[in-house]
């Protein structure tokens, strides 16, 4: 294990540590007309400012522009996702041209020294699946199995790091609890059905990938937050925070460990395929949440609050991404490390179009990650969200998470200062004192 080398003035990461960025198909590929998000975007009032994904970052035609940049900036990995609606445009019919494109992309990453990590499901579904009832339909598990088996067979010679499903909790919460993403339902029963099918699909997906590629490593990406009571003296706030924490973390990871899907009121359902179905744990970390009790089941009895710090330049955004709390990343990594599985930070980033916060933010989080590794936590890689600005779901082009600024009209790319800073960290596999002096001198005394 590498240690802090104070005398060398750098924070070194373990040898072989993976440094990269994360993306998802719909957010970057462009012209994904055959999924439910495309359809959703066409409806007025659904996306900020009426934005649409459109050409996105034009990856379907030319992801290689960004792969070149990733190589140029010293990344050694990239996390991307497959678009189910391209691979299986109608039920049971697979599109070889789509697979060829993905093969070219994975090969392109590898040629440039970037190890691929690939997600099978990142929020989008083929329209045909949506019309059959989407993730509420129990058959989705078999459909997912068929898709994963096919794609894993076709691609597993080019990739050995897989995620079955990205943030199942967010998918359920946005689509069935808050009802603000497709299919825009507010239904506890629907939410439970989707939760059950996603866990089953994860387990079966895990088995499918291993059947084709026994040496592959398979996990899933969890959205993690450190839910804390807004008022630690309030019993109700504490209960609400604990409930969120249980629902957000515990039920998902535990299910993939012991195979038991946990429903409310202590009802468990065991699935053999789900038991021990995660080789590693992917953590998507953005912020800490302060939870205040509210007697509203749609909020899961707690409303989240944030303590914005600094002046946020991404106009009017004071919500979930506004709090700077990097020590929460350290805490969550420690908490998840008790499962004794390798950990990857599969997403971490913030919207900041003029990049006046990101350098400090990034250094602060990587410092906390480094501390966790020093404490013995088995963290293997870090994927910044994201590489180029991309289509940010309901917020459209309004939130800019990229290391690289993108003008979606002209497809012009312009690296932000953070891209250069991150590049030096990736190349050196370390945070050097001089880098902190240059980008966030206010952190010097904390880091060294
Ligand atoms: C995560 C999603 C990802 C992106 C970031 C900002 O919840 O997985 O697609 O939207 O948030």
What 8-state DSSP symbol labels residue 90?
A: B
Q: CA 447, CA 10: separation in Å to the nearest integer?
A: 9
Indicate the number of domains in the chain: 1
Q: Is the pLDDT of residue 314 over 60?
A: no
* Stretch among 43-47, 100-104, 287-291, 409-413 having the lowest mean pLDDT: 287-291
Q: What is the CATH number of the domain that holds 54?
A: 3.20.20.80
Is residue 437 included in any domain, yes or no?
yes
Asked whether 166 lines ligand 1 (CB < 6 A), one says yes
Residue nearest to atom 9 of ligand 1 (CA): 24
| Placement of tokens 């072989």 in the chain | 16
pLDDT band at 318 (very low <50, low <70, confident <90, very high): low
Is residue 270 included in any domain, yes or no?
no
Is residue 2 included in any domain, yes or no?
no
Pairing, β 430-432 against β 412-415: unpaired
Q: What is the pLDDT of residue 308?
A: 61
CA of 32 to the centre of ligand 1 (A): 17
In angstroms, the Cα distances linking 42 to 15, 113, 260 are 47, 38, 39
Q: CA 234, CA 237: separation in Å to the nearest integer?
A: 5
CA of 322 to the centre of ligand 1 (A): 15
Q: What is the pLDDT of residue 324?
A: 86
Q: What is the pLDDT of residue 7?
A: 56
Q: Write out pLDDT tens, residues 319-370.
A: 678 778 899 999 999 999 999 999 999 999 999 999 999 999 999 999 999 9
Best probe residue, ligand 1, of 23, 51, 284 (max atoms within 8 Å of C-beta): 284
Average pLDDT over residues 33-45: 98
Asked whether 390 lines ligand 1 (CB < 6 A), one says no
Q: Write out pLDDT tens, residues 193-236.
A: 999 999 999 999 999 999 999 999 999 999 998 899 999 999 99
What is the separation of C-alpha 396 from the centre of its chain, rounded to a whole number of angstroms? 17
CA of 4 to the centre of ligand 1 (A): 31
Q: What is the pLDDT of residue 247?
A: 84
Contact call for residues 306 and 344 (beta carbons, < 8 A): no
State the closest ligand 1 atom to the C-alpha of 221, by its place in the atom list counted from 1. Answer: 8
Is residue 344 included in any domain, yes or no?
yes
**Which runs of consecutive H residues, i.e. helices, occur in 213-300?**
235-245, 251-258
What 8-state DSSP symbol labels residue 411?
A: T
CA of 444 to the centre of ligand 1 (A): 30
Q: CA 156, CA 131: separation in Å to the nearest integer?
A: 30
Asked whether 119 lines ligand 1 (CB < 6 A), one says no
Average pLDDT over residues 156-178: 96
Supply the range of the domain harboring residue 178: 10-245+275-447
pLDDT band at 306 (very low <50, low <70, confident <90, very high): confident
Asked whether 41 lines ligand 1 (CB < 6 A), one says no
Q: What is the pLDDT of residue 1?
A: 40
- What tokens appear for 434 in the block? 């001089």
CA of 387 to the centre of ligand 1 (A): 12
Q: CA 235, CA 229: separation in Å to the nearest integer?
A: 9
Asked whether 415 lines ligand 1 (CB < 6 A), one says no
- What tokens appear for 299 in the block? 């909020």
Is residue 259 included in any domain, yes or no?
no
Contact call for residues 87 and 99 (beta carbons, < 8 A): yes
Main-chain phi, psi angles of 405, to 5 degrees: -75, 140
Asked whether 167 lines ligand 1 (CB < 6 A), one says yes
Comparing CA positions, the residue from 253, 192, 250 lying closest to residue 220 is: 253
Q: What is the pLDDT of residue 236?
A: 96
Is residue 256 included in any domain, yes or no?
no
What torsion, rounded to 10 degrees, do the Cα atoms 121, 123, 128, 134 define? 100
Helix (H) or strand (E) holding 302: strand 302-305
Q: What is the pLDDT of residue 3?
A: 47
* Stretch among 74-83, 134-143, 310-319 having the lowest mean pLDDT: 310-319
CA of 345 to the centre of ligand 1 (A): 13
Output the furthest CA–CA distance in the chain (Å, rounded): 62
Average pLDDT, whole number, for the chain?
94
Q: CA 439, CA 448: separation in Å to the nearest integer?
A: 15
Asked whether 81 lines ligand 1 (CB < 6 A), one says no
Best probe residue, ligand 1, of 347, 390, 394, 397 (max atoms within 8 Å of C-beta): 347
Helix (H) or strand (E) holding 260: strand 259-262
Q: What is the pLDDT of residue 2?
A: 43
Q: Is the pLDDT of residue 316 over 60?
A: no
Asked whether 147 lines ligand 1 (CB < 6 A), one says no
Is residue 434 included in any domain, yes or no?
yes
- Region of 94 (left: φ > 0; alpha: ψ -120 to 50; beta: rest) is beta
Strands (E), 50-110: 77-81
Contact call for residues 447 and 364 (beta carbons, < 8 A): no
What is the separation of C-alpha 446 from the centre of its chain, rounded to a whole number of angstroms? 28
Distance between terminal CA atoms of the chain? 18
Residue nearest to atom 4 of ligand 1 (CA): 392
Asked whether 223 lines ligand 1 (CB < 6 A), one says yes
Comparing CA positions, the residue from 165, 114, 162 lying closest to residue 387 is: 114
HSE, CB side, 13 Å, CA atoms: give it for residue 272. Answer: 0
CA of 386 to the centre of ligand 1 (A): 9
Pairing, β 430-432 against β 10-12: antiparallel
Concatenated DSSP letters of 339-373: T---EEEEE-----TT-SSHHHHHHHHHHHHHHHH
CA of 448 to the centre of ligand 1 (A): 32
Is residue 253 included in any domain, yes or no?
no
Q: What is the pLDDT of residue 317?
A: 56
What 8-state DSSP symbol labels residue 14?
A: P
Asked whether 25 lines ligand 1 (CB < 6 A), one says no
Asked whether 22 lines ligand 1 (CB < 6 A), one says no
**Which runs of consecutive H residues, i.e. helices, occur in 126-228?**
127-131, 140-155, 168-172, 188-212
Asked whether 170 lines ligand 1 (CB < 6 A), one says yes
User: What is the per-residue burial (b if ≥16 Cβ within 10 Å, else e) of 80-89?
Assistant: bbbbbbbbbb
């Amino acid at each position: 294990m590498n240690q802090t080398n104070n005398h060398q003035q750098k924070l070194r990461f373990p040898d072989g540590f993976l440094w990269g960025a994360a993306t998802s198909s719909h957010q970057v590929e462009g012209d994904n007309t055959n999924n439910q998000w495309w359809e959703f975007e066409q409806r007025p009032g659904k996306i900020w400012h009426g934005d649409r994904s459109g050409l996105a970052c034009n990856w379907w035609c030319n992801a290689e522009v960004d792969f070149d940049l990733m190589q140029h900036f010293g990344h050694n990995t990239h996390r991307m996702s497959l678009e189910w609606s391209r691979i299986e445009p109608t039920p049971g019919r697979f599109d070889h041209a789509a697979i060829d494109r993905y093969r070219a992309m994975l090969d392109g990453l590898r040629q440039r020294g970037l190890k691929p990590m690939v997600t099978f499901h990142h929020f989008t579904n083929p329209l045909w699946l949506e019309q059959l009832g989407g993730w509420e339909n129990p058959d989705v598990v078999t459909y997912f199995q068929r898709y994963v088996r096919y794609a894993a067979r076709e691609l597993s010679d080019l990739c050995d790091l897989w995620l079955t499903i990205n943030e199942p909790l967010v998918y359920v919460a946005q689509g069935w609890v808050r009802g603000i993403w497709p299919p825009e339902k507010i239904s506890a029963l629907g939410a439970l059905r989707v939760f059950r099918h996603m866990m089953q699909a994860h387990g079966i997906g895990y088995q499918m990938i291993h059947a084709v590629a026994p040496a592959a490593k398979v996990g899933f990406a969890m959205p993690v937050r450190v839910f804390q009571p807004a008022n630690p003296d309030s019993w109700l706030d504490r209960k609400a925070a604990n409930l969120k924490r249980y629902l957000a973390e515990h039920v998902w990871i535990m299910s993939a460990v012991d195979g038991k899907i946990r429903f409310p009121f202590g009802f468990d359902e065991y699935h053999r395929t789900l038991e021990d179905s995660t080789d590693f744990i992917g953590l998507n970390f953005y912020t800490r949440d302060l939870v205040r009790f509210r007697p509203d089941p749609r909020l899961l009895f707690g409303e989240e609050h944030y303590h914005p710090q600094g002046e946020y330049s991404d106009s009017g955004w004071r919500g979930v991404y506004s709090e700077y709390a990097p020590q929460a990343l350290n805490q969550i990594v420690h908490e998840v490390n008790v499962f004794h599985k390798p950990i990857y930070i599969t997403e971490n980033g913030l919207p900041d179009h003029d990049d006046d916060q990101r350098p400090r933010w990034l250094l602060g989080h990587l410092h906390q990650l480094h501390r966790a590794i020093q404490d013995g936590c088995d963290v293997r890689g870090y994927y910044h969200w994201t590489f180029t600005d991309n289509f940010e779901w309901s917020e459209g082009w309004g939130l800019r998470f990229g290391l690289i600024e993108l003008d979606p009209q002209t497809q012009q790319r312009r690296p932000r200062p953070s891209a250069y800073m991150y590049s030096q960290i990736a190349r050196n596999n370390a945070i050097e004192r001089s880098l902190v002096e240059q980008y966030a001198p206010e952190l010097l005394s904390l880091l060294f």
